[in-house]
Structure 1
């Protein structure tokens, strides 16, 4: 029994030596900050490290199953991805259950003394209904816009101090300022509004509730914010487009000999109607002329005093020929 206790004590000392804990500059140990997560759900945890360790090996150590998972590796429901450009690696845990409760370690193999250091010690608490959660754990927006994020907490913490913090520099906001506004409705909802976002605002943040309940100092839930450069129009392209449009307006389009020009639909229809009208007009004119030539004229017979008879149209029109008569002077 004594030998077993000595052996256990030795392994505890050895583990603490390998994973010597670090603390934030604010004096809180990572072990006192608890991530409240939903049973059956998933969580992504950022692990920041010093830029000088960009090329060094990093791993995620779990007390739950006592294994190391190095970066860019997936083991079961855990995936660890390194992002040297941001000096961090992320750990995504899926299908969470009660057995996942406990302390975890973000660690770096330094290649110097000490050989391994701990950069973060998140403590997971899996619950059917988390004491602290967010509406969205990953948000992507364009530069210059404003966003509103909502953190939900158990109403038993309504009188506790709440913050919006940035992982990288540990800067926290507890009240309104020029770029961040925080409002607490005291009924379980904390609203964070960030204004005039820039690409430099990209990174990991977290909502925090200062519960001050041993051994937990704070509850927190991580949120990833990605700010993209706003799309700007290509000045040269826009200029060329405007010039082309102006040239099109001021230039008569040339006829393409290889392809027939497009003819508006109304043109052939109009021509057809015009031809039809002309044909109808010609037909009517010919019909009228023919009808006039076939009209029967009624004549009346008129006898003049000299005994000559003449046919006079029934309309009363009388046509005659007058011949000049020269009187003989002797008859006078």
Structure 2
């Protein structure tokens, strides 16, 4: 059993027995085992003394500690969540052996508010042929300690004040001011797995995932589709906003036209109503006038004017033209005259 450290036959002789994590954070620890133990039960145990350690979790049990077996990789992982200071201590990766001593190995975990080492992301991913950068940090007390970037079951890449690396595919840049940048270039599927960054004898784990690179045609299609998707998405957002605005504008215009039409119809109805009312009043006036005239006696005046026949005789002063006037007794607007039995005689003298 090899928890968080490479087996003796690896190229590296570095081991990682001390892990650190920030209070409230999470940490995943890989535990490697021999292939003959694939079908055995795995568990995570806490305690400095193996004989007195307390089993925290078995494989596939739920809770704050999750143990997951990966038989194809000959390892199981222990995921620790919401860690507190009280979780600090010795732990054991163990494989249960029936009828014999369990296979096991230990490590020490430190939980603190200011861990000695840390990474920006404990899980990173990249595409085949691409690259990833892992940003690592260490405290001032480890400034003079050696900093390493190592892969479990593989070699370590030493960091220093130079920009060179033991491998052209891995560039470890140590700024000497509490941070180290690890860049892995030209990624391959075989690069996927567990790594750790350490300063002195304290480290932290990092998992790298490498995804398959699509073929050129597929990549072009994917990029094009991605760009189209982004463009469509952006256009959809813009069109959605534009369509919404257009709908509101059309509604406003339609409402305005409807109000205008209603106003015109109302005005026409009112005008028509007023005209009808006016005609009614005029008819009433006409009817009333006619009725008044009809109710009153009519005064007729016959005026007959005769031309004088040529004559040498002088005009007779007694020639009189009679006018017959009939007057309504109630009409007080007529000229005053002598009334005799409803007939008024007027003398008209032509000179």
Contact 1:155 1:186 in 2 (8 A): no
Match of 1:100 among 87, 101, 107: 87
Quick check: 1:198 aligned with 2:188?
yes
What displacement does 1:24 show?
A: 4.1
Which structure has greater strand proportion?
Answer: 1
Separation (CA, whole Å) in 2 of partners of 1:50 and 1:234: 42
Deviations 1:218-240 (A, max 9, x none): 101000001011122678xx9xx
Gaps of 5+ in 2: 160-164, 222-351
1:207 is matched with which residue? 197
Any idea what SS the aligned residue of 2:177 has?
coil
Describe how 1:202-281 pairs up with structure 2 within 5 A: 202-210=192-200, 218-232=201-215
2:109 is matched with which residue? 124
2:169 is matched with which residue? 179
Bigger shift: residues 60-69 or 195-204? 60-69
Quick check: 1:87 aligned with 2:84?
no
1:34 is matched with which residue? 18
Calculate the TM-score normalised by the size of structure 1. Answer: 0.57
Separation (CA, whole Å) in 1 of partners of 2:147 and 2:128: 27
Contact 1:180 1:193 in 2 (8 A): yes
Gaps of 5+ in 1: 1-18, 211-217, 239-332
Quick check: 1:145 aligned with 2:136?
no
Separation (CA, whole Å) in 2 of partners of 1:117 and 1:28: 21
Q: 1:23 to 1:200 in 2, by over 3 A?
A: closer
What displacement does 1:68 show?
A: 4.2
Deviations 1:159-196 (A, max 9, x none): 21111001123x10115121111111111001111110
Separation (CA, whole Å) in 1 of partners of 2:92 and 2:207: 20
Calculate the TM-score normalised by the size of structure 2. Answer: 0.54
Separation (CA, whole Å) in 2 of partners of 1:103 and 1:225: 26
1:16 is matched with which residue? none
Any idea what SS the aligned residue of 1:122 has?
strand
Match of 1:47 among 31, 36, 49: 31
Contact 1:151 1:189 in 2 (8 A): yes
1:242 is matched with which residue? none
Deviations 1:284-313 (A, max 9, x none): xxxxxxxxxxxxxxxxxxxxxxxxxxxxxx
Any idea what SS the aligned residue of 2:153 has?
coil
Separation (CA, whole Å) in 2 of partners of 1:173 and 1:189: 16
Separation (CA, whole Å) in 2 of partners of 1:166 and 1:172: 6
Q: 1:140 to 1:23 in 2, by over 3 A?
A: closer
Separation (CA, whole Å) in 1 of partners of 2:186 and 2:119: 22
What displacement does 1:87 show?
A: 1.4
Contact 2:14 2:156 in 1 (8 A): no
Any idea what SS the aligned residue of 2:30 has?
strand
Contact 1:159 1:186 in 2 (8 A): no
Separation (CA, whole Å) in 1 of partners of 2:79 and 2:14: 24
What displacement does 1:23 show?
A: 8.2
> Runs of 4+ in structure 1 displaced over 3 angstroms?
26-30
What displacement does 1:38 show?
A: 0.7
Separation (CA, whole Å) in 1 of partners of 2:113 and 2:193: 28
What displacement does 1:115 show?
A: 3.0
Any idea what SS the aligned residue of 2:215 has?
coil
Q: What's the C-alpha RMSD, in Å, of the aligned pairs?
A: 2.4
Any idea what SS the aligned residue of 2:213 has?
coil
Separation (CA, whole Å) in 1 of partners of 2:15 and 2:153: 15
Match of 1:73 among 61, 85, 89: 61
Separation (CA, whole Å) in 2 of partners of 1:142 and 1:29: 29
Deviations 1:207-264 (A, max 9, x none): 0111xxxxxxx101000001011122678xx9xxxxxxxxxxxxxxxxxxxxxxxxxx
